[in-house]
Amino acid sequence: MAPPVLVLAPGAWHTPDAYHKIIPRLEEKSFTCDTISFPSVFANPPPQDLNADIQAVRNVITPYVDEGRDVVIVVHSWSGAVINSALKGLDKATRLEEGKTGGVSKLIFIAAFLVPEGVSVFDAVGGEVPSLWNTEGDVIYANDPITAFYNDLDPDEAQHYASLLKPHAKATKYSKTTGEAWKHIPSVYLICDNDNAFPPFAQKGMVKILLRMKAPT
């Protein structure tokens, strides 16, 4: 049986370039890897809701599941809001009921936002603008990204990754989610103890949502 396709979804401000080291290692293990380029991170003008990002997810996932492939999505940070809104009809259980093979079989959340439908990232952080956000017009920049994101890297490497960051569409931080894929797709959540951008206590709050609402694991 072929291993699942691994689709990596980067967090806010990040492009797929963030995964340039891990993807070759996964491919050495015979995984097919793909990434999602979110319009919220590169489109000009910036998107005013999550719809463009949702479509970007579906554009990557749909061809694989239509080939009958199983897909595992690795979800980081902000992208949790998008991924959970984007997978209607693409999960393996639904496709099986329709007599189709393939589908999204698992979600791996890494320090990711995991919220009920109708809740935005802004809502999830308490309805107050975090110190990390530097808002300029329709976009948000990351304040002190080296401390926030790369505090465990050597200075040169941290500076390199910081240079790859892009402004992020402000509206997508405030847009309400439109789905709860984590309720229907087996999920795991990895807590990052040294994450300065999304502290462990907040990540554990996301896990409590999974447990309280009895999501499949």
Q: In this structure, are strands 133-136 and 139-142 parallel, antiparallel, or unpaired?
A: antiparallel
Mean of pLDDT over the chain: 94
Strand pairing category for 139-142 and 168-169:
antiparallel
3-state secondary structure of 156: helix
pLDDT higher at 5 or 124 = 5
pLDDT single digits (tens) 32-41: 999 999 999 9
Of residues 135, 112, 115, the one with CA closest to residue 124: 115
Phi first, then psi: what are they for 110, rounded to 5°?
A: -115, 110
Task: State the pLDDT at residue 11.
Answer: 96
pLDDT for position 214 = 62
Residue ranges of domains in the chain: 5-212
Domain 5-212, CATH among 3.40.50.2300, 3.40.50.1820, 3.90.1640.30, 3.40.50.12780 = 3.40.50.1820
Query: At residue 213, what is the residue type?
Result: M
Total length of the chain:
217
- For the entire predicted model, the pTM comes to 0.93
Question: Burial of 214 by CB count in 10 Å (0-12 exposed, 13-18 middle, 19+ buried)?
Answer: exposed
Q: What is the mean pLDDT of residues 25-52?
A: 95
Q: Dump pLDDT digits (tens) for 96-121.
A: 999 999 999 999 999 999 888 999 99
CA–CA distance, 177 with 114 (Å, rounded to integer): 10
Tell the burial category of 126 from Cβ atoms under 10 Å away from its Cβ (0-12, 13-18, 19+): exposed
